[in-house]
Amino acid sequence: MTDLPRSEPGDDAARAAREALVGSAAPDASILAAVQDGLMSVPAPASWFDVPSQRQRPQPFTPPRRRA
């Protein structure tokens, strides 16, 4: 099965961003705008504390009880 070229409007911006990463030229305004649009389209919580963590919260340390 062959892949057909995609013709979405964002493809040109993505291609330009990829070329900018590989090339040595400084990114122009259109690349920076495409990056900003991409970042703004990602849903994000309103505060740092709303960001889910992949680590489990540490359990409070309880020393072992001594047997009498």
pLDDT tens for each residue of 12-67: 777 877 877 787 777 788 878 888 888 888 877 777 777 677 776 677 777 778 87
Q: Is residue 2 pLDDT above 60, yes or no? A: no
Do 16 and 30 meet the contact criterion of CB atoms below 8 Å apart?
yes
Q: pLDDT category, 9, cuts 50, 70, 90?
A: low
- Residue 31 carries which side chain, given as an amino acid letter? I
Q: pLDDT category, 1, cuts 50, 70, 90?
A: very low
Q: pLDDT category, 6, cuts 50, 70, 90?
A: low
The domain spans of the chain are 9-21+28-40
From residue 42, alpha-carbon distances to 29, 37, 57 in Å are 20, 9, 26
Do 53 and 35 meet the contact criterion of CB atoms below 8 Å apart?
no
